[in-house]
Amino acid sequence: MIDAVVLGETMMSLRSTGGWRLGSTATTSIAGAESTVAIGLSRLGHTTRWVGRVGADEPGELVLRTLRAEEVDTSAAVRDEDAPTGLILFEQRTPDVTRVLYHRRGSAGSRLTAQDALTGLTGGTRLLHVTGITPALGPGPLAAVHAAVDHVRESGGLVSFDVNHRSLLWSAREASRVLTPLARKASVLIGSPAELDLVGGGDHVVTKLGADGARVRTPDGSWTAPAYRVRVVDPVGAGDAFTAGYLSGVLDGLPPADCLARGNATGAFAVMTTGDWEGLPTRAELPLLDLDRGSTLR
């Protein structure tokens, strides 16, 4: 049995050094909320699988190759001959503000089916992680998320759900209508305060508070943990990085306060580096943030 399966769309990312309209140079990589969580968990030593569709094209090969290099299992991924891999363009205007532009309508990732999801769960998983992005991609991906969530719940596994509302994809009103029933099925519900307002509560709710850290409420109590004080280079992806750390703690059986601390650490690593997943820590690197200023890793 694998530790964690994630389901969703991963795109090729293009990150410009200046404005797109100026004809700047760009760096290619990959981006996808769920695959960032898979990479984060894999670096922390958990076995993970990514389930999704890419086009039968070079951006799709970049997605699969990158995930494989991060030891994320891609054996259930589908290469779709009839649609391209989606693209996401990042344009960082200030250290805190990054513009996002999608080229993903009709992408291979948006053709995900319930059957893809069930195939991806073959062999069983301890944890399924899904987000509110996939249901925004169309009826097929929405059905895939429901099928996966129902299957894992029936098998006794944990389901984590990060609301991840993407306003470029749909309105808050529509997101609330579609995501509330999914949030009810989650064992661990994660979001920002505004996102959690969209879907209502749950038994185990984790609130991401940016530079203020995070809090968790379970039937046993509530805990908060402050963020690490670090220099922010690129805040995009911090939420998914946090989720990877938090879920790693859950898989390790840690108490909620320790899960929060691990999530704050992985979130801090993400904001200190450019890119969503590139700076995520290995397990050996986790204590780095707790070293005194000026000390070195031996």
Ligand X SMILES: O=C(O)C(=O)C[C@H](O)[C@H](O)CO
Residues that bind ligand X (CB under 6 A): 31-33, 36, 88, 133, 166, 236-237, 240, 276
How far apart are alpha carbons 250 and 52 in whole angstroms?
24
Q: Tell the smallest beta-carbon distance from residue 142 to ligand X (Å).
A: 15
State which residue, 56 or 211, has the beta carbon closest to ligand ATP. Answer: 211
State which residue, 85 or 217, has the beta carbon closest to ligand X. Answer: 85
Residue 118 found at the interface with ligand ATP (CB under 6 A)? no
Beta strands 214-218; 221-225: pairing state: antiparallel
Tell me the residue type at 172.
A
The DSSP string of 202-259 is -SSEEEE-GGG-EEEEETTEEEEEPPP----S--TTHHHHHHHHHHHHHHTT--HHHH
Q: Is the dihedral of CA 143, 174, 246, 217 positive or negative?
A: negative
Which of ligand X, ligand ATP, none is residue 242 near (CB under 5 to 8 Å by kind)? Answer: ligand ATP
Q: Which of 238, 244, 261, 286 binds ligand ATP (CB under 6 A)?
A: 238
State which residue, 132 or 249, has the beta carbon closest to ligand X. Answer: 132
Which of ligand ATP, ligand X, none is residue 32 near (CB under 5 to 8 Å by kind)? Answer: ligand X
Tell me the residue type at 40.
G
**Angle at CA 260, nearest 5°, toward 32 and 35?**
15
State which residue, 32 or 256, has the beta carbon closest to ligand X. Answer: 32
State which residue, 31 or 268, has the beta carbon closest to ligand X. Answer: 31
Size of residue set near ligand ATP by CB under 6 A: 23
How far apart are alpha carbons 274 and 19 in whole angstroms?
17
Structural contact between residues 44 and 282, judged by C-beta atoms closer than 8 angstroms: yes
Q: Which residues, other chains included, contact 190 with Cβ-Cβ below 8 Å and sequence gap of 6+? A: 160, 161, 162, 163, 205, 206, 208, 243, 246
Beta strands 48-51; 2-7: pairing state: parallel
Q: Pick out residues in 189-218 that bind ligand ATP (CB under 6 A).
A: 192, 208-211, 213-214
Which of ligand ATP, ligand X, none is residue 244 near (CB under 5 to 8 Å by kind)? Answer: none
How far apart are alpha carbons 128 and 145 in whole angstroms?
10
Q: Tell the smallest beta-carbon distance from residue 295 to ligand X (Å).
A: 31
Residue 16 found at the interface with ligand ATP (CB under 6 A)? no
Catalytically active residues, by annotation = 240
Which of ligand X, ligand ATP, none is residue 37 near (CB under 5 to 8 Å by kind)? Answer: none
State which residue, 230 or 254, has the beta carbon closest to ligand X. Answer: 230
Q: Pick out residues in 249-288 that bind ligand ATP (CB under 6 A).
A: 263-264, 267-268, 271
**Angle at CA 201, nearest 5°, toward 197 and 205?**
100
DSSP state for residue 56 in the 8-state scheme: S
Residue 247 found at the interface with ligand ATP (CB under 6 A)? no
By C-alpha distance, which of 287, 282, 266 is closest to 214? 266
Q: Which of 32, 140, 239, 256 binds ligand ATP (CB under 6 A)?
A: 239
Q: Tell the smallest beta-carbon distance from residue 133 to ligand ATP (Å).
A: 10
User: Which positions lie near ligand ATP, rule CB under 6 A?
Assistant: 192, 208-211, 213-214, 227-228, 230, 232, 235-240, 242, 263-264, 267-268, 271
